[in-house]
Structure 1
Amino acid sequence: MPFTATPIPGLQVFEPRVFGDERGYFMETYNERTFREAGIDATFVQDNQAASSRGVLRGMHKQEGDAAQAKLVRVISGEVYDVAVDLRPYSPTYRQWYGVYLSGENHKQLFVPRGFIHGYLVTSEHAVFAYKCDNLYAPKAEQGYRYDDPAFGIKWPEIDGEYTVAERDLAWPLLT
């Protein structure tokens, strides 16, 4: 299977088969049967895409309650350091985080189950980030925590200069 388990149950890295030749490459980025065989039973209903430059840090976000979302995230071009934190209340890995570099070169994707907060830092000059969600965006259900919350202890990569973080993301509370 093209899936790699992470130390956090349910959070999986997907590496699609890439078929390349002198013309370029082809890959299947999602196949419902393949994902279901890996135990991922998500029906995706919304696709999103964002473009950002080096140092942009987006996160850490999730949706609550009936609007909770699972996500399948990937990078079309460029590179990001992608992070998910387990906030499932009864999980043995509660508050643990996992980070992985996703890029247009390595083609890796991260499946983020419901109950996680998620964010990423652009580490290349420019990146195009795309993701599928299994629930529609519901602004009133959105929740987040600061990317630098000591309760999580995320070790973000160092880059030249400061991170660029939206005021909205800087206003999220700390967990503790």
Structure 2
Amino acid sequence: MIFTQPPVSDAWIIDIERRGDDRGFFARTMCKDEFAEHGMITDYVQQNSAFSAQRGTLRGMHFQTGSAAEAKLVRCLRGAIFDVIVDLRHRSPTYLKHAALELNAEDRRQIYVPPGFAHGYQTLMDDTEISYLVSAPYSPAAEEGLKFDDRTLGIVWPLPVTGISAKDLSWPALTAEGPPFF
């Protein structure tokens, strides 16, 4: 695997190294030892899948707080997404900074999202599916979110939003103090 640091602390972009022949290829998408060498969480308790039928669908910006804070390892299995992470850790040198990248089924790139980050994405194609590992079980009481179009964050989404949940529309804008979660 090839690890690249995006412009936020402790997150990683992971590209696979294909070993192939005329049948196709083989590649590792997760290695406990290599993840540990990069300071990443290596124990995952759940794998989730999300499918979006329509291009322009936006999901996020989500995070879990307290002991339910989770790391995510996100990969696009079909279609393409514009993936965004936001550092919400008060003591981080990249506090309230974000990183964005395209994840798609073609290049099989992944992103590691550390605990203390908000995560969201917009589908770039119809019939897009993602899969992601999480390091903590989902806890409804610990679920939080940020307004996807918060001016403080300055995220520029590539497409008009064609679908978004009522819950994702209701997340608050940041206050002057920022999120009090991490």
TM-score, length basis structure 1? 0.94
CA-to-partner distance for each residue in 1:134-170, whole Å, 9 max, x for gaps? 11100110000110011101011125xx431101100
Residue 115 (structure 1) aligns with:
116
Please list, as runs of the form range in 1=range in 2, the aligned pairs for 1:1-176 lying within 5 A after superposition: 2-53=2-53, 54-158=55-159, 162-176=161-175
Specify the code of the residue in structure 1 equivalent to 2:170. Answer: A
More displaced 10-residue stretch of structure 1: 130-139 or 35-44: 35-44
Residue 178 (structure 2) aligns with:
none
Report the Cα distance in structure 2 between the residues aligned to 1:39 and 1:99, rounded to whole angstroms. Answer: 21
Report the Cα distance in structure 2 between the residues aligned to 1:130 and 1:18, rounded to whole angstroms. Answer: 20
Report the Cα distance in structure 2 between the residues aligned to 1:41 and 1:33, rounded to whole angstroms. Answer: 10
SS in 2 for 1:40: coil
Report the Cα distance in structure 1 between the residues aligned to 2:124 and 2:105, rounded to whole angstroms. Answer: 12
- Pairwise CA RMSD: 1.3
Between the aligned residues of both structures, percent identity stands at: 42
How many aligned positions are there?
A: 174
Deviation at 1:41, TM superposition (A): 3.1
Residue 179 (structure 2) aligns with:
none
TM-score, length basis structure 2? 0.91
Specify the code of the residue in structure 2 equivalent to 1:174. Answer: A
Report the Cα distance in structure 2 between the residues aligned to 1:11 and 1:4, rounded to whole angstroms. Answer: 9
Report the Cα distance in structure 2 between the residues aligned to 1:134 and 1:165, rounded to whole angstroms. Answer: 25
Residue pair 2:41, 2:71 contacting (<8 A) in 1 also: no
Specify the code of the residue in structure 1 equivalent to 2:14. Answer: F
Residue pair 1:42, 1:70 contacting (<8 A) in 2 also: no
Residue 180 (structure 2) aligns with:
none
Gaps of 5+ in 1: none
Residue pair 1:67, 1:136 contacting (<8 A) in 2 also: yes
Gaps of 5+ in 2: 176-182
Specify the code of the residue in structure 1 equivalent to 2:167. Answer: R
Report the Cα distance in structure 2 between the residues aligned to 1:106 and 1:143, rounded to whole angstroms. Answer: 31
